[in-house]
Amino acid sequence: MAVEIFYEKDCKPEVIQGKKVAIIGYGSQGHAHALNLMDSGVDVRVGLRESSASAEKAREAGLKVVDVDTAAEEADVIMILTPDETQPKVYEEHIAKHLKPGDTLAFAHGFNIHYGYIKAPEDVNVIMVAPKGPGHIVRRQYTEGSGVPDLVCVQQDATGDAWDVAMSYAWGLGGARSGLIKSTFKDETEEDLFGEQAVLCGGLVEMIKAGFETLTEAGYPEELAYFEVYHEMKMIVDLMYESGIHFMNYSISNTAEYGEYYAGPKVINAESRRAMKEILARIQDGSFAQEFVDDCNNGHKWLLEQREAINSHPIEKTGEKIRSMFSWIKK
């Protein structure tokens, strides 16, 4: 299915420039949103807890910093950029009571709206502007005169111009310089979770670990195994990122390309694809979301156990030693 893509000529900068915007949170995305919007001529304030360690950084960057309640009370557009698991509490305790008819509630990920953990009143807009890149890249590209493409979504159009607000906000981030892709909260949420779980984080990490373990259990040195299945992964991904799979295949040896076609389908096979479909089904029916929220409410017990397991895996110990040899990696 073809998607609609919009650019700067399709946006109305005056829309967001005529509104007061609150950025709730000042992490990776929060700092990029706040600074880019400020530099685009938007009236921005950052809402943070009194004890937030980020408050001074935001002030030093020239931003107005207030508590979350004040930010929500002052603003016409409220962008919530705290972690998914904290958003419902932040919304209920500090934002909901300050919403006025015609306000816009904004997100950069659809998790809480799509799964119903946040339910906005019918008289406010609900939009999403989701840059397809980490915050430091969103900020860097903006300062260099470019921008990171954004997904733009409207879940609820209470004012009749929610799309104008969303597009204008994305213009302020710099996303319209590269392209704004029209999407939905459902598609963004489900595709994002699936990509993270099956490929980018879950699938990739487990494949690297399995390759490392296969080699070391067969008696190969851990250091060499690390280089082959971990270190060189970035080189391959960079080639694909720059110009596609065909360019990566052009850049590697014929031996490597031949092995790709022979071995790839053996690793990612019918069983792997069945597992991917099961992962997607659990995302679609809300099972994963509920499991995640339950673990959050249990003090992240399972998450912390898994984090400790991967942090103590031999591949991480080996990697720490190998990376100390790389003078070009920032310590």
Separation of alpha carbons 200 and 193, rounded Å:
10
Q: What is the pLDDT of residue 331?
A: 63
Residue 30 in tokens: 């929060």
Give the chain's end-to-end CA distance (angstroms, integer): 44
The partner residues of 21 in beta bridges, in order of sequence, read: 44, 77
Separation of alpha carbons 52 and 82, rounded Å:
12
Q: What is the pLDDT of residue 329?
A: 78
Separation of alpha carbons 137 and 173, rounded Å:
12
Q: What is the pLDDT of residue 287?
A: 98
Separation of alpha carbons 328 and 331, rounded Å:
9
DSSP track, 38-97: HHTT-EEEEE--TT-TTHHHHHHTT-EEE-HHHHHHH-SEEEE-S-GGGHHHHIIIIIGG
CB 30 within 8 A of CB 81: yes
* 246-273 residues labelled b (16+ CB within 10 A) or e (exposed): eebbebeeeeeeeeeeeeeeeeeeeeee
- Can you give the pLDDT of all 331 residues of the chain as single tens digits? 778 999 999 999 999 999 999 999 999 999 999 999 999 999 999 999 878 889 999 999 999 999 999 999 999 999 999 999 999 999 999 999 999 999 999 999 999 999 999 999 999 999 999 999 999 999 999 999 999 999 999 999 999 999 999 999 999 999 999 999 999 999 999 999 999 999 999 999 999 999 999 999 999 999 999 999 999 999 999 999 999 999 999 999 999 999 999 999 999 999 999 999 999 999 999 999 999 999 999 999 999 999 999 999 999 999 999 998 888 777 6
Separation of alpha carbons 51 and 32, rounded Å:
21
- DSSP annotation of 132: S
Q: Which H/E stretch holds residue 128?
A: strand 125-131
Give the SS3 label for residue 151.
Answer: strand
CB 163 within 8 A of CB 4: no
Q: What is the pLDDT of residue 53?
A: 87
Q: What is the pLDDT of residue 75?
A: 98
Amino acid found at 41? G
109 is catalytic: yes
Given the residues 98, 109, 114, 246, select the one marked as catalytic. Answer: 109
Neighbour-count burial of 129, counting CB atoms closer than 10 A to its CB (0-12 exposed, 13-18 middle, 19+ buried): buried
CB 180 within 8 A of CB 170: yes
Question: Which residues touch 168 (CB under 8 Å, ≥6 apart)?
Answer: 11, 12, 13, 14, 15, 16, 17
At residue 64, φ and ψ (nearest 5 deg) are -80, 130
Separation of alpha carbons 108 and 110, rounded Å:
7
